[in-house]
Amino acid sequence: MNKRVVVALGGNAILQPKQAGTAEVQFKNVINTCIQLADLIKVGYQLVITHGNGPQVGNILLQNEEAKDKIPPMPLDVCGSQTQGFIGYMIQQSMQNLLPQRHVGTILTQVLVDSGDSAFQNPTKPIGPFYTQQQAKELIAQKGYTMVEDSGRGWRRVVPSPNPISIVEKDLIQALLDKDAIVIAAGGGGIPVVKDSQGQLSGIEAVIDKDLAGARLAGDVGADILLILTDVEAVATNWGKPDQKFLHHLSLEEAKEYAAQGQFKAGSMGPKVEAALRFVEQGGEKAIIVSLNKAAAALQGTAGTIILK
């Protein structure tokens, strides 16, 4: 058995900007993505696959809103579990068709967070549809939502984005990996859950950053490599400026220095770099950030940004 790799798929692997979010369109994107993942498996890598769910959970929340007078809306943790199911199904079936001799399984994954996390006092993650100011006031009064004005486009709900502590199903995932299965887990950052004094789990209204959850998953299952696939070829300094420079090999210290300078924006590359740093700091061999179509080259050391201890 070769290197164990947690592959964190960006949103473009499932649904690209301006595409219609039909099942057919998403399946086509997933199949194209899985062709590349299957190639990694064929050369000996053992994969754990995780993925985003932003557009998909947003659509489910919009469906909830449109149908609320006929069907009771589901809470955010249940909506997240729905996306884990249908995106996992798409990836699972695609991998089974490409590698029929291999076992593939999707694990509905809960991720433990601390109910005392400071994120719960400062919700920042926007979710769901846009509302008028009057609708926002009603939601605050009726449901206690935290609502913010979003760049002149209307009002949106924001929820906490707490730090992932551990993967609840890590032992199950490990057992499947020991049988050399291909595992899909922690989709959309996982379902955030808290534990009470009796050890009982319950879902909570929050969204865990998918890259940070991917780093936690990689650490919990003893992965050698965290491979974060996105829509740019590598991490860069001075992004979008005339002196933009791609960074291909970084030490932990160099990456931390660039992060301290504010080079990596919170809404884009920042969480990816933070996830990479966490994984390498907790004992991972290396973390790689690269575009989807250069994953194989990145594992060979000839593409993307590679962060080493």
Residues marked as catalytic = 11-12, 125, 210, 272
Evaluate whether 273 touches 264 at the Cβ level (below 8 Å): yes
DSSP 120: G
Q: How far is CA 144 from the centre of its chain?
A: 27
The span from the CA of 243 to the CA of 262, in Å, is: 16
Helix 252-260 to helix 269-281 angle, to the nearest 10 degrees? Answer: 150
**Ranges of H-type helices in 19-53:** 23-42
Separation CA 39–CA 302 (nearest Å) = 17
Q: Which residues contact 157 (CB under 8 A, 6 or more apart)?
A: 126, 127, 128, 139, 145, 146, 147
Burial of 212 (0-12, 13-18, 19+ CB in 10 A): buried
Q: For residue 127, give the nearest of 102, 103, 147, 151 by alpha carbon.
A: 147
Rounded Cα distance between 59 and 22, Å, is 11
CA 92 to chain centre: 17
CA–CA gap between residue 7 and residue 10 (Å, rounded): 10
